[in-house]
Amino acid sequence: MSLIKANAVQIGQSNTATQNFTLAVPSSPDGTIKLARGNSGATTQDVLTVSNAGVVSFPQGFSGNASSATAIATGSTTARSLANRFADIVNPIDFGAIGDGVSRPLSTIYATLAAAQSVYPFVTSLSQELDWAAIQAAVNESMKTGKMVYIVGPGPYMISDTIVVKITRNAAPTPPSPGSDVHFLDLTNATIIGYGMPTLKATNAIASMMELIYDTTDSDIGPFYSKIEGLGFDGNNIAIAAIKSDYTMHCSIVRNRIWNIERGIEYNGYAVSLIMHNTIRAKYALYFPGPGGGDSMIFANDFYSPQGMDSSCCYFGYYSGNTKISGNTFTNEYGSTYLTIGIQVAGGPTSGQESRDLIIENNEFSGFKNAIRMDGQASGNKNIYRIIITGNRTLPYSSQNDGLLVSAVDCRGLHIVDNLFNSDALSVATGIGVDLTRCQQTKIADNKFINYNTNVLVLTNCEDTEVVNNTFIDCAKSGISFVVVNLYGSSSARNYFKNNYFKQSNSTSFGEYAILENTGVNYTFSFDNIFDGFERPHTKVGANSIMQRKEYSSTIPATGSFYQGDIVWNTTPSAGGTPGWVCTTSGVNTFVFKAMANLAP
């Protein structure tokens, strides 16, 4: 073994100094060494250094294949190869994606389709985008390994075709056997995460930008429990849907942005999913056309109507029941030219195609013509039922304030409870608050209606409606002939009003009618309501209707509208005096009251 005792050793003897190398230690050795370019004593560039702790560094950078090199992560104990370490996540950039907003058809990279297919076997045309092919390749790898796809922002990445997320029976680690519980099988799912909110931008008219698909030979195999988070989907006004799911359960679609598209998130078949903290502007932000799409949680999203078209922010078709829609904000910024709906629920066209057990709670609707609309399509079957609508509020947006929170046709078992109608009391609502047609067994309770120009509650051919403990303040403001609650239709029956509070702060110019039966209505019952500032609290036409008015005064009223059986309780009763008066003859200013039997002396 040769021993060299020197601080520096030159390797190479070229006349060109930069073609030689020098291996050197400091003049006062400290356990470090370096390899530099140049002659001894005149080096020009450090190439490699080794610290006294054994750390190797490359001052000019390193290029080459270090895949087999190993490293121990800080705080851990096991060395892993760099190739293994970098494969913890799947990054589309490692598959060729660039994501700079520039269109790069595969034809700009590959001379032939065969050459492109040698890298991306699934491509079918050189017109397809490089970014799309790279993301699809990354997703395919993820579906084999179960590792996360990690897309770095900001992009945009150019998307010419649908990004398909699919698992097949052959690829499933534990394929289900007949009758097995698919919820607990080892089926590969997809986790696609954006960092820095990267945008995917459509370049072609595609049906969907990303689609989760089940195995067409077995709907029990699919990318269940997948997660799509932190991505932007720009449909470029040519794509139809941003994210589409076909029979894939328990997916989480979280914190995405979607715009310039017809449908934000579309579900067909199974859902049982979480849709949360997304911001979507689309004709249909959520589109569940049926069958299916139910058993989901839709929470804390921002939904916006697009400009220049009719829209339904959230559309639920048949079999989309047992879903909770909670804490979302719905905004229409573009006025009343078009029909804008916040949440639309539609039953199927035939018996049994139902929508049921939805909970719509604590949402805010600004500027919509109709916040919540329910259309049962089989009138004899009332195939929308048991819908709970509670804690919601309507607001104006700029000058747009229809104030219509609920309209429903052919429904039963609706609970419209504890909502705030027109929560901005300084803005007058121009529409109706609740408009029901052919509905049965509806409960309208503990709501507050304030500052409406016209009718607030309209019931047409409704049966068994319970209207209790509501507050109606300054409604039917357009004129003295307007009505707060209007009942229509010869099929109207057994509608009950009890313990409601009606108040008009201007009894000479606001509507004088609180509850009005129109021709053909019958069997309306009204008890224990309070009417403040109304000339005609009840207008009864039904022979079997009972509308009893209770007032409190020290004297018999001189004017107004009273029906036989109305009671005025004496506010200053005394021993031996009457406790009140009972109307014995109905009339408008021609009524007759008789005193009740005197109290004991």
- Strands of 340-387 (E only): list them: 340-346, 355-356, 359-361, 364-366, 370-375, 384-385
Residue 303 · residue 277 · CB < 8 Å: no
Q: How does pLDDT run across 114-157, given as a tens digit for each residue?
A: 999 999 999 999 999 999 999 999 999 988 888 899 999 899 99
Residue 101 confidence (pLDDT): 96
Q: How does pLDDT run across 395-453, given as a tens digit for each residue?
A: 888 777 888 899 999 999 999 999 998 866 667 888 899 999 999 999 999 999 999 98
Distance in angstroms (rounded) separating the CA atoms of residues 370 and 174: 48
What residues contact 177, with CB distance under 8 A and at least 6 apart?
A: none
Residues facing 305 on adjacent strands: none
Element (H, E) at 360: strand 359-361
Residue 80 confidence (pLDDT): 81
In the chain, the amino acid numbered 500 is N
Give domain limits for the chain. Answer: 8-63, 80-175+182-239, 549-601
Give how far Cα 225 sits from Cα of 148, 186, 187, 309, Å: 13, 11, 9, 35
Average of pLDDT values for 532-554?
88
Q: How does pLDDT run across 36-85, given as a tens digit for each residue?
A: 887 766 666 777 788 888 787 878 777 777 777 777 778 787 878 767 76
In the chain, the amino acid numbered 271 is A
Cα within 13 Å of Cα(121), Cβ side: 2
Distance in angstroms (rounded) separating the CA atoms of residues 179 and 397: 52
Q: How does pLDDT run across 300-337, given as a tens digit for each residue?
A: 999 999 988 999 999 999 888 889 999 999 999 888 78
Residue 446 confidence (pLDDT): 97
Give the pLDDT band (50/70/90) at residue 87: low
